[in-house]
Structure 1
Amino acid sequence: MAGRTEKTGFEESGQSGYDAVFGEGKRPMLDRVKLGEGGRLVIPAAMREALGVKPGDELALEVEDGELKIKSYLAVIKELQAEFSELVSAGTDVVGDFLKERREEQKRADERLDRLHAEGMRLKDKI
């Protein structure tokens, strides 16, 4: 059917004029979108750019006080890092401590395996 176009609800329409940079005297990004089939919505290009996401990226969605919040996974990771950094005292090497602990645990497991192997070999020689 040449020349026929069907509206799917996913096309981007004209967007409100706003600056992607927030700051004093700047209005926060606000745009009106229409919910499409299956609950789909299109995030305007300037908002995707401000979030640092592109089509195909995974996003984190959260409903809080009747508002849908959309965050990039990078933003979620940064929030978690900030939250967990408050639980660790300054100067603590979390990764280094974890690796040291893990190496000690592996050393104990290796020593136990060597001991069991040696016992098994002694029992084999007696048979």
Structure 2
Amino acid sequence: YIPTITILESLQREGFEPFFACQTKVRDQSKREHTKHMLRLRRAGQLTGHQVPEIILLNSHDGSSSYQMLPGLFRGVCTNGLVCGQSFGEVRVPHKGNVVEKVIEGAYEVLGVFDRVEEKRDAMQSLA
């Protein structure tokens, strides 16, 4: 497997910064180091704002799931966060081959989706 920190360090070199992290709880403590986890990443310089695009990275270290990257849009409304509820270009990278390079490519692929996300957001806002 490729540790998430290796992927994170590579994404940071590409200008992505972690904004939020969490992981699932496990019943079997022997699996604690392999639990599924999520990172929310934003471009440097876009860590704050009213509406900020981000990449949501999901992974588990036991190979039970592939790396998954989803485009999200954080909109500051009270203390709630809004993440796109419709699929806009999820990228999955299996734990084999050159995973780091594929995840970096996937991150840029997800970034290319944000124009569509913004169009959908504008359409939803026009309904109010």
For the criterion TM > 0.5, the same-fold answer is: no
Larger radius of gyration: 1
Which structure shows the higher helix fraction? Answer: 1
Structure with bigger RCO (C-alpha 8 Å, 6+ apart): 2
Q: Structure 2 length as normaliser, TM-score?
A: 0.23
Which structure shows the higher strand fraction? Answer: 2
